[in-house]
Amino acid sequence: MAEIALLQGKRIILGVCGSIAVYKAVDLASKLTQAGAQVDVIMTEAAQRFVRPLTFQAVSGRPVYTDMWRAENSGGLPSHIAHIGLAEGADLLMIAPATANTLAKLAGGFADDLLSVTALAAGCPLLVAPAMDGGMVEHPAVIDNLDALRRRGAHLIEPESGRLASGLTGGGRLPETSTLIGHIRRVLGLDGELSGHKLVVTAGGTREALDPVRYLSNRSSGKQGFAIAQAGIDAGADVILISAAEARPPLVGATRLAVDSAQSMMEAVLAQVADSSALIMAAAVADYRPRSVSEQKIKKADDSLTLPLERNPDILMAVKAQREKTGYPMIVVGFAAESENLVENASGKLQDKGLDLLVANDISASDAGFAVDTNRVVVLDMDGGLHKIELTSKAAIGAYIIERVGGLLA
Ligand code: CTP
């Protein structure tokens, strides 16, 4: 697990309850620690029947808290105030898995174990991931308790449906670690520098249909666009992700609009930017589409086939025209995929398309650009500024772009 800037030095209290999903909480504690967070685990008594505290201690590298009465189980804090010490200065209290019993305690304000008492003492955001078997999650008592927590401002993670430990199929599964971390990032980012700003990000290569089974497209994977969207969520923005990259996993905290062709992407972009702070156009938009789409599958016939193509509209040019009339979006960031004369071609695009920033990729390198996790870019601005970013993760480039957008909006 790579480090996550947002999680660096964050203090997360992870409350763990007695559910078979505890094994996923071990992975969560491990990944959060690897990502740079300081994870203090509190286990309920029932949780310890599934997994020993030593397991969490090993992955978090920190003492594990289990008992409010016994000093040796209070992680070095005097036992009677362990909950205060833990709650003080914490950035997040996450309870995963949260059982029906602990939810009832939280909803009722009970304070009879270290976790419930810490929940009362903690002033930080509370993020709860319920997990339970056999339809318990649909019981009115559980629903009422979740409603009570939601009303008080707690953030809830919807349990997933699927196979449960009992062998039954239904709702109540704890989501995978990546999803849980997505929720943590969303909650920790809420007061970030783009809080209150709507950000529209496009990602992936558009698909231009030829017939019911074929399309013309390009090698864009959508990774850079998704990394920018994630950085936007980390900064607290309200992110609309207009994605032609249908294979990419969901991104927690973004509203994802699936599109395919350049035309459908343009319609979505023009509608979404009408009230947005910024547009970041990371998608690889096809410049041409087949002149006609065959209703039936095209059959092979001759030795060669010529496909007449026609120009697609340029989405950024359409945005420029709309922005001149309405003032929105306030900031526009474009990309340039170049295989030669990078800076020269890129600055031409910056001017023509009326961009505030342009991120230029050299797509001829195999370790940067399409479909890999790393990138190397030059960022140009309208004042002639030029900032080179040597080979790094797409996440780091996403964070840099978001920081620049934040600077322009400030
Ligand atoms: N773009 C767009 N609409 C298009 C084509 C591209 O909005 N029909 C956007 C891309 O999302 C990118 C920027 O324009 O942000 C530059 O895309 P790029 O493919 O590098 O350049 P083009 O303008 O298509 O020019 P060329 O392909 O001739 O280099």
Active site residue 341: no
- At 382, the amino acid letter reads M
Tokens linked to 124: 């930080």
Residue count of the chain: 410
Nearest atom in ligand 1 to the alpha carbon of residue 316 is 7
User: Cα(90)–Cα(150) distance, rounded to whole angstroms?
Assistant: 20
Pocket of ligand 1 (CB under 6 A): 262, 281, 283, 285, 287, 312, 314-316, 334-337, 349
User: Cα(154)–Cα(43) distance, rounded to whole angstroms?
Assistant: 20
Q: What is the predicted pLDDT for the residue at 76? A: 66
Terminal-residue alpha carbon distance, the chain: 32
What does the pLDDT profile of the chain (410 residues) look like in tens digits? 889 999 999 999 999 999 999 999 999 999 999 999 999 999 999 999 999 999 999 999 999 999 887 766 666 666 667 777 788 889 999 999 999 999 999 999 999 999 999 999 999 999 999 999 878 999 999 999 999 999 999 999 999 998 888 888 888 999 999 999 999 999 999 999 999 999 999 999 999 999 999 999 999 999 999 999 999 999 999 999 999 999 999 999 999 999 999 999 999 999 999 999 999 999 999 999 999 999 999 999 899 999 999 999 999 999 999 999 999 999 999 999 888 899 999 999 999 999 999 999 888 887 877 878 999 999 999 999 999 999 999 999 999 999 999 999 99
CA angle 145, 151, 152 (to 5 degrees): 95
> Which residue among 287, 342, 364 is best mutated to probe the pocket of ligand 1, counting the most ligand atoms within 8 A of its Cβ?
287
- At 123, the amino acid letter reads G
Q: What is the predicted pLDDT for the residue at 182? A: 98
Listed as own residue / partner, the contacts of 145-149 with beta carbons closer than 8 Å and 24 or more positions apart are 145/100, 145/103, 145/104, 145/106, 145/107, 145/108, 146/103, 146/107, 148/107, 149/103, 149/106, 149/107
Ligand 1 atom 4, closest CA: 314
> How many Å lie between the centroid of ligand 1 and the Cα of residue 284?
7
> How many Å lie between the centroid of ligand 1 and the Cα of residue 334?
8
Ligand 1 atom 8, closest CA: 314
Identify the sign of the CA torsion 110, 116, 120, 121: positive
CA nearest to 182, candidates 118, 226, 142:
226
> Which residue among 200, 266, 335 is best mutated to probe the pocket of ligand 1, counting the most ligand atoms within 8 A of its Cβ?
335
* Residue found by looking up tokens 């017939």 in the block: 211
Q: Are 149 and 126 in contact (CB under 8 A)?
A: yes
* Residue found by looking up tokens 């000093």 in the block: 71
Q: What is the predicted pLDDT for the residue at 366? A: 79
Catalytic residue among 218, 312, 361, 375: 218
> How many Å lie between the centroid of ligand 1 and the Cα of residue 160?
39
> How many Å lie between the centroid of ligand 1 and the Cα of residue 336?
7
User: Cα(37)–Cα(10) distance, rounded to whole angstroms?
Assistant: 5
Ligand 1 atom 12, closest CA: 335
